Amino acid sequence: MAHEKLTSRQYLILGLIAISAPLGDSCLSRGMTHMPPISLAHPAALIGAVFTPWIALGILLLIGFFVSYLTALSWADLTFVLPATAFGYVFIALLAKFWLHETISMERWAGIIVITLGVGFVARGPAYTEQPACLAKEAPAQEEAPAQEPVRPEAQPR
């Protein structure tokens, strides 16, 4: 099934991916700045960090990202979904600069611009790769064939 044009719902899913990941990562960063350094040698501190408000919110947003990401991958190729959601890099840079008050070098801004330009090239292509007609005809026949379990050597009669 080819997807020449994306529906408004599909654009919404891509937007959720591009927004929820940067927001989730920013919440995690904000929460962790108020925590002492955490070591795997002290797992109780790590578990305690999960229940702090900013970190918990970040985890929920990243779960939302993951659900949206899986949804997008169900109707589009990875080579379309990942670059199409890379606008999140611009959003994360803006969040880091203005919300977390991080310094962003000119080199990083240049990298973000290059990524954004690359996304423009990818977004112009199809979201889903069409299968050649010969493969499309073979696929249903393979699904209809009953699966045979291999016979283990110890189960064969002697």
For the record, the structure tokens of 113 come out as 């611009």
Domain membership flag for residue 158:
no
Largest CA distance in the chain: 76
In-domain check, residue 144: no
Domain that holds residue 105: 8-40+48-129
pTM of the predicted model as reported, rounded to 2 decimal places:
0.72
Question: Which pLDDT tens digit goes with each residue over 46-69?
Answer: 888 999 999 999 999 999 999 999
Question: Does residue 153 lie in a domain region?
Answer: no
Report if residue 31 sits inside a domain.
Answer: yes
CA distances, 79 to each of 3, 15, 18, 62, 119 (Å): 14, 17, 15, 21, 11
Q: Is residue 146 part of a domain?
A: no
Q: What percent of the chain has pLDDT over 70?
A: 75
Residue 96 lies in a domain: yes
Q: What is the mean pLDDT of the chain?
A: 82
135 in a structural domain: no
- Please give the Cα distance from 126 to 141 (Å, whole number): 27
Residue 91 has pLDDT above 70, yes or no: yes
Q: How far apart are CA 146 and CA 35, in angstroms?
A: 56
Q: In this predicted structure, what is the pLDDT of residue 124?
A: 67
Task: Flag whether 140 is in a domain.
Answer: no
Say whether pLDDT at 121 is over 80. Answer: no
Number of domains within the chain: 1
- Burial-class residue 45 by CB neighbours within 10 Å (0-12, 13-18, 19+): middle
